[in-house]
C-alpha cells in the first residue's frame, strides 16, 4: 500500500451519476444495470477510472440521506471493482466513502475537499487511497469563518463567490485543505487537487482558473479538471441569447481536455471519454508529452 499518485498519460475519469437530478445525466442511471452498462461503455471509450456519485451537487439540488446515497453507489462499485475497473466514489460523506472503499473503490472524490464531514480524512487515511480534494467555497454566512458542516455545501443557480484574485484565493484555500488532510494523517502523496469549476464560480472565474492552471500545478500536487458540459461552456456557445444545452457542449469539453492536458494536468473528469481521449492524444502528440495512450 502507499505511494504517490503517479503515472504518465492523462487520466480520464468517466462520470456515472446514479442520481435523479444531475444536470447532464440525472435519472438515466438510477437503475444498477443501467449504471453498470454505462460504466462499461465509458471504459470501452477510454475512461481509466469510473467516477460514481449518488448525490447531485447541481445548483438547487437537495441532499439525499446517507442510506439512499450509499444504496445507489455501493452495488455499482462492487460489481465494477469485481470486474477490475478502477472506481472513484464521488461523495462528501465518510460513511458512504467507507462503504464504497469496502466495496472496492480505489479513489475518493470529495467535492467539499474534506470540509463537509470531519471524519472523511480519517477514513481516507486509514484506507491509504488517493483523495481528490475539490475546491468549493461555501456561501453560507459562515463563509470564511468555518468550521463548515454538510449543510454549507449546497448552492443556488447564479450564486457565486466574491473573489478578487480567484486563482490566488482558490490556491490558498486548497493548500489549507491539504494542511487539514495531512494533519489528520493523510499521506500528502495521495492528494489530488481540483479547482472545482462551476461550484459557486462564475464563467469568468472558471476561465481564470483554467488560465491559471500553471499556478495551480505549481502548488506541487496532481491536478484534476472537471469542465465537462458545464454551464460556462453553454454560455460560451450561446446562440440567440440561449445557452447551448448540455448535450451540445461535448466538443467544447474536449477542447478543454486538450488544453488542460497540454498544461500538464493529472486528469480530466468527463461524461464522454471518447471525445476527450482523442483530444488528449492530439495534445500529447503536439507537446511531445509521454503518454500511455488511451487507444
Ligand atoms: N463536478 C461535478 C461533480 N463532481 N468532482 C470533481 N472532482 N470535480 C468536478 O468538477 C465535479 C465533481 C458536477 O458535475 P456532474 O453533475 O456532471 O457530475
How many Å lie between the centroid of ligand 1 and the Cα of residue 28?
16
Phi and psi of 271, rounded to 5°? -85, -25
How many Å lie between the centroid of ligand 1 and the Cα of residue 147?
23
Which of 21, 22, 111, 266 gets mutated to test ligand 1 (max ligand atoms within 8 A of its CB)? 111
| Tally of structural domains, the chain | 1
Q: CA 40 to CA 50: how far, in whole Å?
A: 9
Candidate from 6-15, 40-49, 248-257, 285-294 with smallest mean pLDDT: 285-294
Q: Give the position of cell 447541481.
A: 58
Q: CA 200 to CA 205: how far, in whole Å?
A: 9
Candidate from 4-13, 80-89, 224-233, 270-279 with smallest mean pLDDT: 4-13
Q: How far is CA 122 from the centre of its chain?
A: 20
Residue 245 lies in a domain: no
**What does the pLDDT look like over 95-134, one tens digit per residue?**
999 999 999 999 999 999 999 999 999 999 999 999 999 9
Nearest Cα to Cα of residue 89 among 130, 125, 149: 130
**What does the pLDDT look like over 42-77, one tens digit per residue?**
999 999 999 999 998 888 787 899 999 999 999 999
pLDDT averaged over the chain?
Answer: 92
88 DSSP β-pair partners? 51, 107
Q: CA 228 to CA 247: how far, in whole Å?
A: 10
Residue 255 lies in a domain: no
How many Å lie between the centroid of ligand 1 and the Cα of residue 7?
22
Q: By alpha-carbon position, which residue is closest to atom 15 of ligand 1? A: 22
Q: Give the position of cell 461535448.
A: 250
Residue 270 lies in a domain: no
Annotated catalytic residues are: 230, 269
Residues in contact with ligand 1 (CB, 6 Å cut-off): 15, 17, 22-24, 53, 57-58, 90, 109, 111, 132, 134, 194, 196-197, 224, 226, 269
pLDDT at 8: 55
How many Å lie between the centroid of ligand 1 and the Cα of residue 226?
6
Q: By alpha-carbon position, which residue is closest to atom 8 of ligand 1? A: 226
Q: CA 67 to CA 93: how far, in whole Å?
A: 11
Q: Give the position of cell 461550484.
A: 199
State which H helix or E strand residue 274 sits in.
helix 273-287
pLDDT at 87: 98
Coil/strand/helix, residue 39 = helix
Phi and psi of 203, rounded to 5°? -55, -45
Residue 156 lies in a domain: yes
Nearest Cα to Cα of residue 194 among 110, 100, 86, 91: 110
Q: By alpha-carbon position, which residue is closest to atom 10 of ligand 1? A: 226
Q: Which residues contact 71 (CB under 8 A, 6 or more apart)?
A: 54
Q: Give the position of cell 487520466.
A: 11
pTM for the predicted model, two decimal places: 0.94
pLDDT at 2: 47
> Which atom of ligand 1 is found nearest the CA of 53?
18
Phi and psi of 32, rounded to 5°? -55, -45
**Residue 196's CATH number:** 3.20.20.20
Banded pLDDT at 168 (limits 50, 70, 90)? very high
Residue 3 lies in a domain: no
Task: Give the residue numbers spanning the domain of 83.
Answer: 20-220
Q: Which three cell numbers stand for residue 114?
A: 474534506
> Which atom of ligand 1 is found nearest the CA of 58?
16
Residue 216 lies in a domain: yes
Q: By alpha-carbon position, which residue is closest to atom 17 of ligand 1? A: 24
Residue 143 lies in a domain: yes
Residue 10 near residue 267, CB atoms below 8 Å: yes
pLDDT at 122: 97
Q: By alpha-carbon position, which residue is closest to atom 1 of ligand 1? A: 226
Phi and psi of 192, rounded to 5°? -125, 135
Residue 265 lies in a domain: no
State which H helix or E strand residue 285 sits in.
helix 273-287
Q: How far is CA 196 from the centre of its chain?
A: 7
Q: CA 153 to CA 159: how far, in whole Å?
A: 13
Amino acid at each position: 500500500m502507499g505511494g504517490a499518485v503517479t503515472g504518465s498519460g492523462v487520466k480520464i475519469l468517466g462520470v456515472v451519476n446514479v442520481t435523479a437530478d444531475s444536470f447532464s445525466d440525472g435519472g438515466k442511471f438510477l437503475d444498477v444495470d443501467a449504471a453498470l452498462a454505462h460504466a462499461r461503455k465509458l471504459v470501452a471509450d477510454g475512461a481509466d477510472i469510473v467516477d460514481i456519485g449518488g448525490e447531485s451537487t447541481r445548483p438547487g439540488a437537495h441532499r439525499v440521506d446517507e442510506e439512499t446515497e450509499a444504496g445507489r453507489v455501493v452495488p455499482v462499485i462492487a460489481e465494477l471493482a469485481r470486474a477490475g475497473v478502477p472506481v472513484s466514489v464521488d461523495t462528501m460523506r465518510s460513511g458512504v466513502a467507507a462503504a464504497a472503499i469496502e466495496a472496492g473503490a480505489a479513489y475518493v472524490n470529495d467535492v467539499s475537499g474534506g470540509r463537509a464531514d470531519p471524519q472523511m480524512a480519517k477514513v481516507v487515511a486509514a484506507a491509504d487511497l488517493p483523495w481528490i480534494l475539490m475546491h468549493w467555497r461555501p456561501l453560507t454566512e459562515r463563509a470564511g469563518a468555518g468550521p463548515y458542516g454538510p449543510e454549507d455545501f449546497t448552492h443556488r443557480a447564479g450564486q457565486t463567490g466574491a473573489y478578487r484574485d480567484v486563482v490566488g484565493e482558490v490556491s490558498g484555500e486548497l493548500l489549507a485543505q491539504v494542511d487539514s488532510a495531512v494533519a489528520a494523517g493523510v499521506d500528502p502523496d495521495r492528494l489530488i487537487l481540483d479547482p472545482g469549476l462551476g461550484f459557486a464560480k462564475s464563467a469568468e472565474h472558471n476561465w481564470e482558473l483554467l488560465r491559471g492552471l500553471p499556478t495551480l500545478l505549481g502548488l506541487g500536487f496532481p491536478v484534476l479538471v472537471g469542465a465537462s458540459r458545464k454551464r460556462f461552456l453553454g454560455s460560451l456557445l450561446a446562440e440567440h441569447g440561449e445557452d447551448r444545452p448540455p448535450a451540445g457542449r461535448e466538443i467544447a469539453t474536449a477542447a478543454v481536455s486538450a488544453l488542460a492536458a497540454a498544461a500538464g494536468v493529472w486528469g480530466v473528469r468527463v461524461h464522454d471519454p471518447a471525445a476527450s481521449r482523442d483530444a488528449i492524444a492530439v495534445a500529447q502528440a503536439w507537446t511531445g508529452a509521454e503518454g500511455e495512450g488511451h487507444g
